[in-house]
Amino acid sequence: MAEIPTNLTANPPVNAEPVEMLLNMGPQHPSTHGVFRMVLWVDGEKIVDVEPHIGYLHRGSEKLCEGEQYHQVITLFDRLDYVANFNNELVYCQAVEKLMGLEVPERAEYVRVILCELNRIASHLLYVGTIGLDAGAMTPTMFAFRGRERIQSVFEAVSGARMMHNYFRIGGIKEDLPDNFEQLIAELLPLLREDVEESDRILTFNEIFLTRLKDVGTISAEEAIDFGFTGPCLRGCGIEYDVRKAQPYSIYDRFDFDIPIGLDGDCWDRHWVRVREMYESLKIIEQALEQMPGGEVVSSLGRRLIRPPAGEVYMRAENPRGEIGVHLISNGTDRPYRLKVRPPSFCNLSAIRRLLTDSWIADSVVILGSLDIVLGEVDR
Amino acid sequence: MLNSVKGMMLTLASTFQGLRKPVTREYPKAPTPVQPRFMGFPALTWDNDVGEPFCTGCMVCIRNCPTQCMSASMMDNPLQQEGQSHRRKIVDYFEINLNRCILCGICVEVCNFDAIVMSHEHEMSTYERNGDRVALPALLEIGQKYQRETNWIPPTVLAKAKKDAEDATKAAEEAKAETAAAVQEAD
C-alpha cells in the first residue's frame, strides 16, 4: 500500500498550469449546516478564493420585532438561534428588564441559568455530532443526539415545547418548574455526564479525527479579534474571554467555573473548547441546583402591558456560539422602535474567506463545521 | 495505517462499552407519549356544568396572537336569557388557522375565561392547502378530548382553591399562635 503523503499543505508543482474551476457548494448541501452557499474557485484540490452567499433564511426578524408587542417578541427570539432557544430568550428579556429597571425574582434567575446551561450542553452536543459527520464519523452523531434528546424531553416537561419554548418572560418566567422537576434532573444529570464523556472519549483524541482537524483552519488571536470572533472560536485561539466572566450578567458571578481555552486556534482547538465547556456547564448546573431558593417566579408586572420608558439599551450575553448582543431602542410605546441583534454566528462566519483560502476542498466542510454556525441567526 | 486502526479500535471499544437498550422509538407505529405540559394546537374548552363553551368571543387572544392566526365573533347568549348561564355573551364563530399557529401559548396566558387550552393534539397534516383552518365545532371537540384525557380543571378554579387552602393554613396558624399566647399569658 502506498504511503499516505503527510505534507499535504505543500505547494503544487511549479510547472503545473493553474486551471481555475468554479465549484458551487450549497445552499442545499448537507454540510453547510443550513441554507448557506459558498462559491469556491478551485485550482485542482486547492481553494483559491471563496465567495459566501447568505440570506436564504432571511425572515426579517428585526423588522418584525418593530411590529410586535414586547411580550410577543420573545417568540421571534426563539427562532433566531434555533439550537439555543433559552439563551436567546434570556438576552432579550434582560435587555427589556435593564431598560425598565426591573428586578427578577431570585428563583426565576436560578431557573433561567439552569435551563440556559442545559441548552448550552444540548447545543454543543449537536455540534459534536455534526463535526463528527463532517469529519466522516457516524457513531458520535448517534451518541450526541441521544444526549440532546434527553435534555429536550426535560425541556418539554418544563416549558411544554422541545425547541420553541416561549418560557422566559420579561421580569420572570412563565410558570414555576413542574413538581417532578427535581426527579427529572436527578435522572438526567448522571446520564448526561455519561453522554458527554462518551462523545468526548470517542472523538476528541481519536487519531483519525486529530489528523482531520489539527492544524486545519488556523487563525491567529489578533486576526480572530479583528474579525470579531467571540465564544469558543475566540477561546480556541487562546484568549480567555467569556461574557459570563468578563461582564457577569444574571447571577453568573455566584458560580465557580473555568473558561477553557485552546492553544493554536485551529479546528481541533475550537472543538476541544466546546467539549470542555460542556463539563463546565454541568458544574454550573450542579451548583445552581444546590443554591436554588424557593419563592415566587412570576414577574412582578403580572399581566400588565409592557411599556418601557423611552431610551435605548445594549445587553450582551454568552450564547453557545459566542457573544449575542441586543440593541433595543424604545420610544415609550408598547412596541420596540428598533431592535438590532448582534449575532455571534454572523461575525464568526465573516472569517470564512480568510480561513478557506489556500486550504483543501476536503477541509472546507470541517472548517465550516468548526465555526458552528446557525443560519437562522446569520440571516435573521 | 496504524493510526487508522487505532482510531477504529477506539470506536469499536466505545461501541461495546455503550451496549445498552436502544433509545429510539418506532414513532409512527408506536406513539411517543407527551409530557403533561406539552403545548400542541390550541383548542376551546367546554363548560360541562352549563353545556356551553367557556369562550365569550372577547377577542383578547386574537389581539395578543403574534401571527394573527385566529378570528372570532360574539353573540348574545340564549342560555343566559333563559337563566341557565351567567355568561351574557357567548362565542358565535371561531376559527384558528393551525398552519399559521406557532404554538407559543400566549393565547392561553391572556385568556380571562379559561376558554382556550394548548391541547395535546399535534399530528394534524392535511392534503388541502386550507385543510388546517379549524372552526368552532372541531375546536371544541379537540378541547373536550383534552379535558377528558387530562381531567382538566379550570386554572382559575385551581388558583382559587390553592389560595383558599393557603388562607386556611394561615388562619389556623394565627389561631394557634393566639391560643399559645393566651396560654402563656395565663401562666
Mutation target to probe the A interface, by most A beta carbons within 10 A, among B1, B2, B14 is B14
Contacts of A161 in chain B (CB under 8 A): 38-39, 103
Q: How far apart are CA B153 and CA B147, in angstroms?
A: 8
Strand stretches in B1-64, DSSP E: 42-44, 46-47, 52-53
> Is B73 exposed, middle or buried, given 0-12, 13-18 or 19+ CB atoms closer than 10 A?
exposed
Contacts of B103 in chain A (CB under 8 A): 161, 164
- The answer, yes or no, to whether residue A278 has pLDDT greater than 50, is yes
Between A299 and A92, residue with greater pLDDT: A92
- The answer, yes or no, to whether residue A304 has pLDDT greater than 80, is no
Q: How far apart are CA A33 and CA A348, in angstroms?
A: 14
Which tens digits make up the pLDDT trace of A330-360?
Answer: 998 889 999 999 999 999 999 888 888 888 8
**E strand or H helix at A46, and its extent?**
strand A46-53
- The answer, yes or no, to whether residue A91 has pLDDT greater than 60, is yes
Mean pLDDT of B153-178: 85
Predicted confidence at residue A1, as pLDDT, reads: 47
- The answer, yes or no, to whether residue B185 has pLDDT greater than 80, is no
Between A29-38, B115-124, B137-146, the lowest mean confidence (pLDDT) is in A29-38
Which tens digits make up the pLDDT trace of A6-56?
Answer: 555 555 555 555 567 888 887 887 777 778 888 888 888 888 888 888 888
Cross-chain CB nearest to A156 (options B3, B23, B38): B38
Between B135 and A2, residue with greater pLDDT: B135
Cross-chain CB nearest to B15 (options A139, A174, A178): A139
Which tens digits make up the pLDDT trace of B37-61?
Answer: 898 899 999 888 888 888 888 888 8
Query: Where do the domains of chain B lie?
Result: 33-166
Mean pLDDT of A72-83: 89
Q: Residue B33: closest CA among chain A residues belongs to which residue?
A: A153
Tell me if the domain spanning B33-166 has CATH number 1.20.1280.260: no
Q: Residue A139: closest CA among chain B residues belongs to which residue?
A: B11
- With contact defined as beta carbons under 8 Å apart, do A112 and A90 qualify? yes
Between B22 and A270, residue with greater pLDDT: A270
Cross-chain CB nearest to A207 (options B6, B39, B102): B6
Structural domains of chain A, with CATH:
20-53 (no CATH), 61-379 (1.10.645.10)
Predicted confidence at residue A122, as pLDDT, reads: 92
- The mean pLDDT value of chain B amounts to 84
User: Nearest C-alpha of chain A: how many angstroms from B101?
Assistant: 12
Mean pLDDT of B77-94: 83
Cross-chain CB nearest to A166 (options B11, B104, B110): B104
* ipTM at complex level: 0.80
The dihedral built from the CA positions of residue A78, B62, B113 and B33, taken in this order, carries a sign that is: negative
Mutation target to probe the A interface, by most A beta carbons within 10 A, among B1, B19, B39, B150 is B39
Please list, in sequence order, all residues whose beta carbon lies within 8 angstroms of the beta carbon of residue A57, skipping any fewer than 6 positions away: A34, A35, A375, A376, A378, A379
Which tens digits make up the pLDDT trace of A126-142?
Answer: 999 899 888 888 888 88
Percent of chain B at pLDDT exceeding 70 = 93
Task: Show the DSSP H helices in B114-154 as ranges.
Answer: 136-150
- The answer, yes or no, to whether residue A184 has pLDDT greater than 60, is yes
User: Nearest C-alpha of chain A: how many angstroms from B6?
Assistant: 7
**Which cell numbers in the block locate residue A58?**
432571511
Which tens digits make up the pLDDT trace of B4-42?
Answer: 676 677 677 766 765 667 778 888 888 888 888 898 899
